[in-house]
A and B are shown apart, each in its own frame.
Chain A
Amino acid sequence: MDRYVLWVALVLGAIGTLAVYSAIGYLAQVKAAGDTEMFLVRHVTRLGVALVALAVFSMVDYRFLARWSRIMLLGSLALLVLVRIFGVTLGGATRAFHLGTLSVQPSDFAKVALVLYVGVLLVRKQGYIENFQRAVLPIFIWVVATVVLIGLEDVSTAGLVLVATMLMCYVGRVRLAHLLWPGGTCVVLAVLMLVGSPQRAARVEAYLGVDLFAASETTELFNDSDERYQARQARIAFAMGGLTGRGPGKSVQRDFLPAPYNDFIFAIVAEEYGLLGALALLGLFSILMLRGFLRIARAAPDPLGLFEAAGCTILISLYGFVHAGVASGVLPVTGLPLPLVSYGGTSMVAAGAMIGILLNISRQAHR
């Protein structure tokens, strides 16, 4: 079993616990009359569940999971439809079911199931992988169906899952020219969505610092609204961190940043632990990525193991880097958690499960 990956998961969990404990003060003040410990307990519980998932999935043969992946994917797609109908509103969009204190986001299941099933399809179609109609198109149909259903409510997650599965296909020897086709479609779709939603357009405008849609109501309505504000506050967090940081629990920007415990946890880490802390966090994700690609995937006992390992690695590290990119202002503002670090329900469990799968594949590695 790959010890490095296991340690990375544990250290990420530990850093996350520290950072979330520090960052969650205001939410606690608002929702639980200042009972920060309650949220700490909640976070640690969820982390525990995630680690259990990690353990369980590291025991279960990934081939067994792969066999059921189609059912799992269909099931989570059904859940996505249900959440559209019955779900609760969370941060502007309907994304989740409530189960007690845990809000269940079916998109978290869907993305894991999709990665597993795309791996299965890639293996199955390796014989004629160069044939677009027979091999590539069926894969894309599944991917697009899932991405659209996720994208109805959460565009950034959908985009990320799309990119991750495209990369998987690239690993699975799908021709680059075939990948360009859906890539182009996505660019068109993205532009359409920007034009369709002033909120999204404003985010991109805030990011670029220009008024792209000056003729519309967009700029007037969202002038210095959330997006520009968040980016500015995150920037301050980084600057205040400096080289060595303010020190654990001493973040100031947690009170100016929206959702510091979730979408901007990287900024909090950077503020409290400085450049060194931030680089260390990036380092952990790099280790995970390198081990995932270079060791686990390469040493996988069969093509299925290779594709699944690559898929899980891509998805987790993509989350990590996109989150870091958003927080540091390299990418436009979107709400993506940092796997195993951010305060969050099912996304953490999903991350745990994927690392579990990675570990399972590494256990069966051929020497």
Chain B
Amino acid sequence: MLVVIFVSLGLLAGRLFELQVIGRGDAQEVSRGNALRTLTVMPARGAIYDRHGVLMVHNEPSFSVTLTPRYFDNGKVTLLAEHLGVTDSVVLARLAEARAWASYRPSLSFRNVSYDQYSHIQEDLFRLPGVAEIVSQKRRYPSEARASHALGYIDEIRRDELEDSLYSGRYRQGDIVGRTGVERAYEARLRGIPGKAQRVVNVYGLEVKPYADGQGDEPAVSGYDIHLAMDAGVQALAESLFVNKRGAAVAIDAQTGGIIALFSAPDYDLNIFSGGIVQKDWVAVNTHPDKPLYNRASMNQMPPGSTWKGLVALMSLDTGLIDSVGPNSTVYCAGYHPLGGGRIFRCLGQHGQQDVVHAIQNSCNSFFFEMGRRMEIGTFRRYANMFGFGMHAPTDIREQTPGLIPDSSYFNRAYVHWGVGTVMNLGIGQGDMGVTPLQLARYIAAIGNGGYLPEPRLVDYLAHPATGDTVHIAPEPTRIPIDTAFFNIVRYGFRRVMENGSGRMAQIPGIPTGGKTGTAQAPGGMEDHSVFVMFAPYDNPRIAVAVQCENAGGGSLCAAPIASLMAERYLKGHLPDSPQVRLRLNRALTAKSEPLPPR
């Protein structure tokens, strides 16, 4: 036993000798770092502006309180609780949490306290040992337009993401990442590069001054500011018009594809996410029956209804199913298509002889059923793909669905029996197909500008606030391989719709336009979906708009007034106080989506 004792004693003495004499230099080196604390300096996340320079997103200070349990005086629980406006038990609970993780280290115990609470605690800090305050940044949304789905929300990085190669190494626990919208798509540019600062720490662990006058510090590099193609005024107008509705509106620059407005209704308040979302808010927004987090503008797939007739017309002209002049340039409408004995394929009127322009103007179902009968389904799909349907759009909106454009293999899978009737329905934009408002906006832009399919994008350019470095995002539109003459025929048909057809109510005084209403059949006996697409002005269009209102009736009832008001607001810079505007406002505001049946 004595041997054991002396061996242990010898070990201890040896250890002391090693520490105090041999290893001295090493640890003295370490001790220099002891009085120094290396801090990560978070860069300022980039701000976001609209196309006119209106500030839509920036940062504001966020105040948090940390607790270091070992130094906390338990007699001060009530004082701290009073300052924070919480009960003693909350403070005690946070203390216990903090203690469980590290009792000598500060824990972030109270996030996002108000400025008042922050300053009251600051005054009393000397009475509150073990309490400290941290000022960080959170997002602020000063614009009248909420643009929730376009801008997107931010959130604290998740554990699994930290291990993801996309983030690992550059992100730490507690860092913020963009989850949706622009914040997500441009995360790398917005975030900036974190810096490092060395601070001399006094004996109580409080920072006194920069080390070596900050010479060894690496400053944080702020993120790029983003300039959107969005017009906050048009966006705000769209948001205000969608009361009592589910649906979406997308307006893009008809030449460049810059997204002027992108709205999905209902939306949600980005502010609930800005400084770390509270569980209660998350549950409320995530379980809402109308799914406010869901970006209908780029994800809602529904049949396009009659807005589709422009595409079928172009396909038919281009493939010779119908001619623009001559003997094969008309179809006779008796109020129905003869196939099925006139009971199944009905038209809304008896239009008589119809050429392409008139068939579009009158939205003649008989004509387009006939085109559907004549067409080959593979060709149909090829032309739909030319306009970007049935696929993801090349865009900076990550939240997308490709939609559905059927082909024969799809029908073989979906149905035991299918035949010409199934395909004929596609001619009028009904049946088994799905398109998103974003796709419709590209499509109507291409019709408006005579065949150039633009790439929609939220961001116009990025500019670095410090270096002035600018990154322009200007993708070239794709030429659709269809004769311009055919485009001009269809364009003219769309103009006739606005002047003489179902779009009459949605005309913009003084500006000729082209457009098309659509009524998409909704399943389950619900009210139809209201769809509308338009471009304006008629010559060299600047804006293309697509609007879907779920379960709100025909296209002229809800979607048309909203789209034309948005276009008018964009082209004129304001909405004039005219009877025509008031009439459309009234229509748009009184239209309603039929409520979804309770689940």
Contacts and interface: CB of A to CB of B under 8 A. Distances in A.
Interface of A: 26, 29-31, 91-92, 167, 170-171, 199, 220-222, 225-226, 229-230, 232-233, 235-236, 238-243, 252, 255-256, 258-259, 270, 274-275, 278-279, 282, 286, 289, 293, 321, 324-325, 328-330
Interface stretch (B94-102, B383-391, B459-467, B526-534): B94-102
A325 B103 contact: no
Given A92-B103, A226-B104, A270 B34 contact: no
A214 B16 CA distance: 31
Nearest to B71: A30
| Chain A interface main SS type | helix
A329 B130 contact: no
B103 A226 contact: yes
Contacts of B205: 256
A247 B416 CA distance: 95
The interface size bin for chain B is 35 or more
Contacts of B73: 30-31
Interface string B13-32: 10111011101101110110
A241 B20 contact: yes
Contact of A225 (B26, B102, B204): B102
Contact of A232 (B30, B71, B129): B30
A321 B8 contact: yes
Contact of B19 (A170, A239, A255): A239
A202 to B, nearest CB: 9
B283 interface: no
Contacts of B71: 30
B30 A29 contact: no
Contact of B130 (A30, A229, A289): A30
B203 A170 contact: no
B27 A270 contact: no
B125 to A, nearest CB: 13
B86 to A, nearest CB: 20
A321 B12 contact: yes
A328 B104 contact: no
Given A92-B103, A321-B8, 19 more contacts: A26-B204, A29-B129, A171-B1, A225-B101, A225-B105, A226-B103, A230-B104, A239-B24, A240-B28, A252-B203, A258-B103, A270-B20, A275-B16, A282-B9, A282-B13, A324-B12, A329-B19, A330-B11, A330-B15
Given A233-B34, A239-B19, A274-B20, A226 B105 contact: yes
Given A239-B27, A240-B27, A321-B12, A199 B100 contact: yes
B257 to A, nearest CB: 44
B31 A240 contact: yes
B204 A235 contact: no
Nearest to B19: A238
Given A92-B99, A321-B9, A239 B26 contact: yes
Given A229-B105, A256-B203, A242 B12 contact: no
Contacts of B30: 232, 235-236, 239
B20 A243 contact: yes
6 contacts: A92-B103, A167-B1, A236-B31, A239-B27, A328-B15, A328-B19
A225 B20 CA distance: 25
A258 B70 contact: yes
Nearest to A274: B20
Contacts of A293: 2
Contacts of A30: 71, 73, 129-130
